[in-house]
Chain A
Amino acid sequence: MTTSAPTTGPAPVTDTPPVIAVVSKKAPVILAVVTVALAAAVALGSQSGDTSFRLATRNDFVEIPDITVPAVGTAWVAVVLMALCAAESVRRYLAHRDTPLWLVAVFSVIGMIGFLGWAAAGATLPVVGLLAGALALAVPLVFGALGGVLGERVGVVNIAIDGQLLAGAFAAALVGSVAGSAWVGVLGAAAAGALVALILGVFAISYFVDQVIVGVVLNVLIVGLTSFMFSQVLAPNAADLNSPPRLGPVTIPVLGDIPVIGPILFRQSALVYLLYVAVAVVTWALYRTKWGLRVRAVGEHPKAADTVGIDVVRTRYRTVLIAGAIAGAGGAFYTLVSVSQFNREMTGGAGYIALAAVIFGKWDPIRATLAALLFGFASNLQGVLSVIGSPVPSEFMLMLPYVVTVFAVAGLVGQSRAPAASGVPYRKG
């Protein structure tokens, strides 16, 4: 993970010095520990019966029957396969080679199937509903993480993601109700997020205030402001000001009829489709456009960027505002998709999970999106398992994103390195 392995094969004829490869032993250790943990859980737990994985939804084009497997048997098969993966990882470590990503991916999928088969014994697991719900729950996290990635890439740490989500949720409810249109509500949410970002920018970029302090205080400020306005203005006039129209699920023709994938990806609310666009556009803009190159230059080495004529302050302001608008739009999820009214502190700290996704995703839009999806999956899985009745306490499932992030920051799960100038105010001269 951390170092590149030398290629094996015939010795090179050229006179290159031998490459000393230091291969991390984190991957084999972690794989082995997870395997043992699952084996212990299966051996000690008292699960029995069959588990059904339901892949079909009600109005499917093609009927897929449920897949029913014996719970404990599935888990043991998974443990054996996981042990094989772990052994392969150990073998590669002993041969001074890194564990490839595909091995970890295969391991994770097998492990998840084994765990689910074991945990949901005696019940039917709605696989499609589980994954579709995970995607829906991840919407604000992904928007928030995209905003966070953009901010950090240009050198401004954005702890205020939670404030931007909350401001977005508030504005979406208010503007959506007044205008009578959910899409105007989304615009309002983006504007509110940008407004929070503007305050962050004024203090962090123009007045050199420590960005972490501004972010933390802004979160408190937005909680206070929205709660105050909620009790004073929204709650007494709920019918006029706090009942926005909903963004219901929209089925995309053809794509939505694909079995399994269709219901998960293409029968979602319009905000999810906006999310696909946002992830694609941000990734493309950050890595493939002149603007993105400038953003990254300013985030890594503002002085060099300044020297070649990039206006550091303007670039930072512009990017932070865009980032705030994206995060704010994510806040619209709470009041336009999830429930159609605003309530105090309704984000429940999702902005901090988004921040975790930014770091776990190594400041990259695609990886941060995947991390946010993973965190959404963890929280939805907890909900589904608590309905079925699972042997794992739901609190520990909910804890998972945070624990994983602590491990990631501590360097136990791969290396994560922030943009060099992230968090550092730029003083010209």
Chain B
Amino acid sequence: MTHPEEPSTGAHTQGIPAPSPEATTGVTTTPGSDPERPSGNGRWYDVARAITTGNALVAVLSIFLAVVVGSILILVTDDAVRESAGYLGSRPSDFFRSSWEAISGAYSALFRGSVYNSRGADFAAQIRPLTETLKFAAPLIAAGLGVGLAFRTGLFNIGGRGQMLLAGAAAGWIGINADGPAIIQLPLAIIVGMAVGALWAGLAGLLKARTGAHEVIVTIMLNYVAFYLVFYALSRQSLLQAPGSINPKSLPMDDSATMPKLLGERFNLHLGFVLALVAVAVVWWLLSRSALGFRFRAVGVNPHAARTAGIDVGRTYVVAMLIAGALVGLAGVNQTLGTTTAGVTTDLDAGIGFDAITVALLGRSHPLGILGAGLLFGAFKAGGFSMQASEGIPVDIVLVIQSLIVLFIAAPPLVRAMFRLPAKEAA
């Protein structure tokens, strides 16, 4: 079917040959074929282009649209608004006043919880929400980098949950059982956690490189395998379970293995945020300044051309997944050693593994974009909790708004059509 607006991704693909049947596959495995031959380059080319190009206007409009939909949800479910809507005809002012109160109450609570609390007693209390935002943003940024790096290589890493769980559990095991000064135990726990995350993701990369197994399916399934592995470890006292406990929970971390607080004990912001910033810098350097990063991007844009140019595509997939897993693992480590130091549980990922996908998409898989998207979603998370506490609006609204943002951003023609913007010209 033809559209009034030619989709921008469509315009981009005109430069490359039309996907041939053997190159166009979805969730497909072709174990019989050349093991190093990845499938579906045409599609991943589109994805990579859709993620890495596009303009800021669509992003802003997408956020706006998502917030509008979220506001409608808040209005529809607000008791005062519904009541006043019952007599809208006789006293419309009531309806508009209650609507305004519901919406402004919700968003001012969101702002108070995420940026600046004007009701705080002193300056520290007033800026505390901002530090909470940074605390929530740190794992989102780290995991978002992991997903984004894989995207740039043409891989879809949905395994964030499993990688975070195993990394967090491994770091937790070191944090509980290895004794030593903080200068040794903390870095050791961080490195072991990241290494475990890397290996778990690398498994998916290896299977893709060797057998052509589609990484989407493999990473989804490995999420559940990891979940049950961690659950198993948490229900065996010889592994991770706290002695004498019947709950699937470990002991709290040693003091020498917890991440130091950055701004003193009044704030929860810890070293994890600094590590996330370092990760942004490293990934930026890796992707835009190093030979390895060039290979990643080359394979992501067109694996066939990359192979012709002498790049070992299968090996690149494995290395990319290893690094991506280490980054997602950092998010898991950040949770165990920094945010929830009371002990390892199977909830330690707190949905970050999936949120990271939305962060990477919103940030268009660019390190700085991911930094911005991570901060935005961190603010949503911090503000969502205060919105729930003060306005009684469930924090789940944040999930709705986040996923709507990503849906709209993924479909620029839809957003353009809604705002009657002219279609984007081919680059």
By a beta-carbon cutoff of 8 Å, the part of chain A in contact with chain B is 2, 152, 155, 157, 159, 202-203, 206-214, 216-221, 223-225, 227-229, 231-233, 301, 313, 344, 349, 352, 355-356, 359, 393, 395-396, 398-399, 402-403, 405-406, 409-412, 415-424, 427-429
Contacts and interface: CB of A to CB of B under 8 A. Distances in A.
B225 interface: yes
B358 A395 contact: no
Nearest to A399: B228
Interface in B390-425: 393-394, 396-400, 402-404, 406-407, 410-411, 413-414
Contact of B410 (A203, A223, A344): A203
A210 B27 contact: no
A424 to B, nearest CB: 5
Contact of A212 (B213, B216, B396, B397): B216
Given A421-B24, A423-B40, A402 B225 contact: yes
A158 to B, nearest CB: 10
B213 A233 contact: no
B128 interface: no
If over half of B's interface residues share one DSSP class (helix, strand or loop), that class is named, otherwise mixed; here it is: helix
Nearest to B236: A393
B410 A428 contact: no
B21 A411 contact: no
Interface string B137-160: 000000000000000000010100
B7 A221 contact: no
A232 B77 contact: yes
Contact of A399 (B3, B225, B394): B225
A36 to B, nearest CB: 22
A6 to B, nearest CB: 19
Contacts of B393: 232
A256 B210 CA distance: 50
A383 to B, nearest CB: 14
B358 A402 contact: no
A376 B224 CA distance: 16
Contacts of B225: 399, 402-403, 406
B258 interface: no
A8 B42 CA distance: 45
A409 B400 contact: no
A228 B401 CA distance: 11
B354 A396 contact: no
A217 B73 contact: no
A415 B212 CA distance: 12
Contact of B50 (A210, A411, A423): A210
A219 B411 CA distance: 17
B32 interface: yes
Interface in B206-236: 207, 210-214, 216-218, 220-225, 228-229, 231-232, 235
B68 to A, nearest CB: 15
Contact of A396 (B73, B158, B228): B228
14 contacts: A203-B411, A210-B43, A212-B216, A216-B354, A218-B403, A224-B396, A233-B77, A406-B225, A409-B211, A409-B213, A416-B29, A421-B26, A423-B24, A424-B26
A344 B351 CA distance: 14
Contacts of A229: 77
A418 B25 contact: yes
Contacts of B213: 406, 409-411
Contact of B25 (A213, A398, A415, A423): A423
Interface residues of B, number: 68
A410 B29 contact: yes
Contact of A231 (B222, B394, B407): B394
B27 A417 contact: no
A420 B354 contact: no
B396 A221 contact: no
B170 interface: no
B345 interface: no
Nearest to A421: B24
Contacts of A213: 47, 357, 361, 406, 410
Contacts of B133: none
A214 B26 CA distance: 14
Given A207-B414, A422-B27, A228 B394 contact: yes
Nearest to B233: A395
Contacts of B223: 352
A229 B72 CA distance: 13
Most buried by B among A219, A352, A395, A429: A395
Contact of B399 (A157, A206, A208, A221): A221
Contact of B217 (A396, A409, A412, A428): A409
Nearest to B417: A207
Given A157-B26, A221-B399, A349-B224, 5 more contacts: A221-B407, A231-B394, A393-B232, A424-B42, A427-B10
A352 B411 CA distance: 25
B94 interface: no
B19 interface: yes
Nearest to B393: A232
Nearest to B207: A410
Nearest to A226: B396
Contacts of B32: 2, 411, 415
A232 B394 contact: yes
Given A216-B158, A301-B21, A406-B207, A228 B26 contact: no
B290 interface: no
A213 B311 CA distance: 27
B2 interface: yes
B120 interface: no
A90 B32 CA distance: 22
Nearest to A424: B24
B165 to A, nearest CB: 13
B235 A395 contact: yes
B30 interface: yes
A221 B355 CA distance: 11
A199 to B, nearest CB: 8
Given A409-B214, A423-B26, A228 B403 contact: no
B1 interface: yes
Contacts of A208: 7, 9-10, 46
